[in-house]
């Protein structure tokens, strides 16, 4: 169901999340996130996530009216011209369409593994600070059949606006497991028979092609500047690297994720 209201400012209390989009950590604490751009909003509307409102130009209202109106929940559509929207939100909008939705309830690892077929494939993120990089990692997870993404205690949130945007809606389909101690969680996976593989560009690391990825496995990705933390690295059962020339020390974390996950799918006959 859809109600439409034309606006001249963001002064309405219910529009406060659009006024504070740069404070996305605060949004996460409140259990909400902003989807930005027509592709991401369209993909959001195709899910079962609860959508609260949309902030759009008149043109985008007509483009999305059917999708908005066919939703089971009550959605408030707020309409303004694009220049006014940009003035109100404080930055350039590539498309004049935004939506506010609720972050889904967190997934437990136990439930995730129970409902997922084997061999399992998980990814763990340790210390990723860039929401853009994390968003692309999530997009790679969606593309390469990852069953769940473990977010370590020092990692950024995949529900930040830029992470959602860079995931291109992949975050709507990859179950997220937040953990208060990633190293301990990885050890528990080892007890369950997982091989936990540190994507670690180190001289003593095993080449990626020599690692058996057909088993239950979890690919562990480290921060952009410092890689995987010592505790998390010690909790991993293998250290694996993508072979590269000596003058190249590493790949961007999202590129490394794509290479590792492609190799998993290749070994499992899924490409």
pLDDT tens sequence across 74-117:
999 999 888 777 776 665 666 789 999 999 998 999 999 999 99
**Would you state the pLDDT for residue 231?**
96
pLDDT bracket for residue 203 (50, 70, 90): low
What is the rounded radius of gyration, in angstroms, for the C-alpha atoms of the chain? Answer: 20
Residues 38-45 have a mean pLDDT of 96
pLDDT, one tens digit per residue, over 144-171 is 999 999 999 999 999 998 999 999 999 9
**Would you state the pLDDT for residue 86?**
76
- The pLDDT > 70 percentage for the chain reads 97
Which part of the chain is CATH 3.30.1330.30?
Answer: 2-102
**Would you state the pLDDT for residue 128?**
94
pLDDT bracket for residue 31 (50, 70, 90): very high
User: Hunting for tokens 């404070």 — which residue is that?
Assistant: 23
Q: Is 209:84 a contact under the CB 8 Å cutoff?
A: no
Which part of the chain is CATH 3.40.1280.10?
Answer: 109-267
Name residue 35's beta-bridge partners: 99
Token digits for 104?
Answer: 């889904």
CATH architecture of 2-102: 2-Layer Sandwich (3.30)
Does this model's pTM top 0.85? My answer is yes
**Would you state the pLDDT for residue 21?**
77
Identify the helix (H) or strand (E) that includes residue 233. Answer: helix 230-235
Topology classification of domain 109-267: Alpha/beta knot (3.40.1280)
- Per-chain mean pLDDT for the chain: 92
pLDDT exceeds 90 at position 73: yes
Higher pLDDT, 242 or 194: 194
pLDDT exceeds 70 at position 38: yes
Identify the helix (H) or strand (E) that includes residue 220. Answer: strand 217-221
Instruction: Tell me the C-alpha distance between 61 and 94, whole Å.
Output: 16
Q: Is 138:163 a contact under the CB 8 Å cutoff?
A: yes
């Amino acid at each position: 169901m859809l109600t439409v209201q034309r606006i001249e400012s963001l002064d309405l209390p219910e529009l406060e999340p659009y006024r504070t989009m740069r404070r996305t950590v605060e949004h996460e604490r409140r259990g909400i996130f902003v989807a930005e751009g027509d592709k991401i909003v369209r993909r959001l509307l195709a899910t079962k996530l609860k959508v609260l409102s949309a902030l759009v130009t008149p043109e985008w209202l007509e483009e999305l009216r059917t999708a908005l109106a066919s939703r089971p929940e009550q959605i408030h559509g707020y309409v303004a011209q694009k220049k006014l929207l940009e003035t109100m939100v404080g930055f350039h909008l590539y498309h004049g369409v935004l939506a506010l939705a609720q972050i889904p309830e967190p997934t437990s690892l136990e439930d995730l593994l129970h409902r997922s077929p084997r061999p399992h494939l998980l990814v763990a993120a340790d210390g990723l600070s860039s929401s853009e990089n994390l968003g692309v990692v999530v997009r790679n997870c969606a593309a390469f059949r990852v069953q769940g993404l473990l977010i370590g205690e020092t990692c950024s949130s995949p529900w930040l606006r830029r992470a959602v945007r860079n995931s291109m809606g992949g975050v709507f389909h990859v179950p997220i497991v937040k953990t208060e101690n990633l190293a301990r969680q990885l050890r528990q996976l080892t007890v369950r028979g997982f091989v936990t593989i540190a994507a670690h560009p180190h001289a003593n690391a095993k080449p990626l092609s020599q690692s058996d990825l057909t088993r239950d496995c979890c690919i562990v990705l480290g921060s952009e500047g410092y890689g995987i933390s010592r505790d998390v690295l010690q909790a991993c059962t293998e250290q694996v690297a993508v072979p590269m020339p000596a003058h190249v020390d590493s790949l961007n974390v999202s590129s490394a994720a794509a290479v590792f996950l492609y190799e998993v799918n290749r070994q499992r006959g899924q490409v």
